[in-house]
Structure 1
Amino acid sequence: MQVAIIGAGMAGITCASRLVEAGHEVTVFDKGRGPGGRMATRRVEHGGETFRFDHGAQYFTAREMAFQAQVRAWEADGIVAPWPAAKEGAWVGTPGMNAPIRSMAEALNVQFATRVSALVRERGGWRLEGEGLADASFDAVVVAVPAEQVAPLLGAHAPDFAEDARDVTSEPCWTAMVAFEGRVDAPDTLADEGAIGWAARNSAKPGRDADQECWVIQANPRWSRAQLEREAENVGEELLAHFPRAPGDLPPVLFSTAHRWRYAKCEKNDAGARWDAAQRIGVCGDWLSGPRVENAFLSGLELARLIEG
């Protein structure tokens, strides 16, 4: 089949990879500039330096055998490494969190900067409408985006899928990315410090530039909800003020910015993935499985199996 997959995060790229291995022709569409979804890495050029921040998922673990096997393959390829500073069994992509997804995407036909706004059923297949889309039809469609973005695409075609998505709640997360002139006197990771849910010395992760002092500071869900519609610049400054050191004790800031994740962490779900064989339309993603990176991988894997029958 010719399959369109909307979303180049872990679930969508995993599903695409397995379908290509099975002999299908797959095109992945994503509104972003690169693969990764919430496993994104931000690259910033500032003052003649290049700073990198893992501003989404901070690490992942591997519990299920299928994902453990995949992680071992990634480790052999040098694109993941253990990061015990986070917790026992924690892994990160190298040199950035998006490295595993980027590696998988290189073997696929992925169209970035392409926002799919509607699906149109025609002649037994599907046509996609949206920004940057050429006229193309597909035999099957997979929607691999956050739950809150599923219903607008599937409400008219798969109302039960859309209703499942509407029932899911995702927590937001404001994230500050800060590069300091000198070393911050703090452990490599901090958690549950007032408004801050998590903070990490990004430059201490394996494969990063250890000569830099780059930090990712993520607010907890409650604080993020209260500040959800504020400007990023102001939020970044305020998060830095919540850093568990008096502002006067911190080294001078070389660069800072903030990013708002509206749909950062979904609740646990046991559906895995959904596939309508009659219409040839499916959904996968962590909102169908659970909030961990591994859940997204397993959901994409499960949908590929359902499609193959």
Structure 2
Amino acid sequence: MRIAVIGAGIAGLACADELRRHDHPVTVFDKGRGPGGRMSTRRLDTPSGQAGFDHGAQYFTARDPAFLAQVEQWETLGLVASWPAAGPDAWTGAPSMNAPARHLAASLDVRLGARIETMSRRRQERGGAAAWHLQVEQQSAQGPFDAVVVAIPSEQAATLLAAWDDDFAALARATPSRPCWTVVAAFAERLPVATDLLQHLRPIQWAARNSAKPGRSPPESWVIQADPDWSDAHLEEAPETILADLLAAFSTVAGIRLPPPLVARAHRWRYARSGSAGVAMLWNDALRLGVCGDWLLGARVECAWLSGTRLAAAILDGAGRPTNMAEPT
């Protein structure tokens, strides 16, 4: 089958990779500049060299046997490393959080900067099977595809699904995400903070010395993330205001006077932490329309990977399945 996957986060990439390994041609579309979604890494030039920031997910755990086997394979390839500062079972991408995603994307046809506006379905010829076509923003339509996988945050998924499956769209609308304002900042010298990790010190949910993660290099870099309530209350404020407020809050909770940063930016994750619908994936065999993502199974990288691989299994074993299927956790 010719399959389109909308979303190059870990769920979409895991689904696409499994389908590709079974010889189905897959095209992945993503509106971003690189693969990984919330497992992304941002790089900024500074007078002391380029600084890298894992400005989305900070680490992940591996508890399911299938995902643990995948992580062990990534470790063998040098794509992940344990990060004891975040916990005994914490892993991070190496040398950046998006390393596993970039590895998965390397063997796939991934179209970046491609925001899908609408999906349509029509017969190719008289008596032929219906096929999917995707309208890419400011580009020509893409297709035909035999199946479509929607692997994007629930709010965005609901918009695309509304015209095709009422149950899927309703579930997406009922599983909203929480936002997160994130500040990244690099400094010329190591900050006199005793620990590499500060947590749950409102309004800061998380502050980590990114340059201390395995495989990272100078300059001194920090990722500072606000808690969901603060982010929600300040969601529409200007990035410059957020930057000043969160740097001031970080200075307070760290107990230091911050020197002027070499570079600093504020980034708004409107859909940062997913909800959990309590199902692994969704598959409509009649339409050949699937949905995967962490918002279905849980707000963890592992859940996103499991959702994607389980949807791929349903697609590969689609014959005889119920028309609408929501696989339980």
Unaligned runs of 5+ in 2: 124-129, 318-329
Contact 1:182–1:252 (8 Å) recurs in 2? no
- TM-score under structure 1 length normalisation: 0.97
For 2:268, which of 255, 260, 263 is the aligned residue?
Answer: 260
Q: SS of 2:282's equivalent?
A: strand
Counterpart of 2:136, as a letter, is G
In the alignment, which residue of structure 1 is the partner of 2:231?
A: 224
Structure 1 residue 271 corresponds to structure 2 residue 266: no
In the alignment, which residue of structure 2 is the partner of 1:214?
A: 221
For 2:300, which of 292, 296, 299 is the aligned residue?
Answer: 292
Structure 1 residue 180 corresponds to structure 2 residue 171: no
In the alignment, which residue of structure 1 is the partner of 2:321?
A: none
Q: Distance in 1 between matches of 2:219 and 2:104?
A: 28
* Structure 1 residue 246 displacement after superposition: 5.1
* Structure 1 residue 133 displacement after superposition: 4.2
Q: SS of 2:295's equivalent?
A: helix
In the alignment, which residue of structure 1 is the partner of 2:41?
A: 41
* Structure 1 residue 269 displacement after superposition: 3.0
Match runs of 1:124-203 below 5 Å: 124-131=130-137, 132-186=139-193, 187-203=195-211
For 1:242, which of 239, 246, 249 is the aligned residue?
Answer: 249
* Structure 1 residue 267 displacement after superposition: 2.2
From the superposition, tell whether residues 182 and 251 of structure 1 become closer, same or farther in structure 2 (CA, over 3 Å): farther
In the alignment, which residue of structure 2 is the partner of 1:12?
A: 12
Q: Distance in 2 between matches of 1:245 and 1:16?
A: 42
CA RMSD of aligned residues (A): 1.1
In the alignment, which residue of structure 2 is the partner of 1:66?
A: 66
* Structure 1 residue 195 displacement after superposition: 0.3
After superposition, what is the alpha-carbon deviation per residue over 1:168-213, rounded to whole angstroms, capped at 9, x for unaligned? 021100000011121112210000112000000000000100x321
In the alignment, which residue of structure 1 is the partner of 2:325?
A: none
Q: Report how many residues are paired.
A: 307
Q: Distance in 1 between matches of 2:56 and 2:132?
A: 32
Counterpart of 1:191, as a letter, is Q
* Structure 1 residue 136 displacement after superposition: 2.2
Counterpart of 1:231, as a letter, is A
Aligned residues with identical type, % of pairs: 53
* Structure 1 residue 48 displacement after superposition: 6.2
Unaligned runs of 5+ in 1: none
Counterpart of 1:196, as a letter, is I
* Structure 1 residue 250 displacement after superposition: 2.0
* Structure 1 residue 137 displacement after superposition: 1.0
- TM-score under structure 2 length normalisation: 0.91
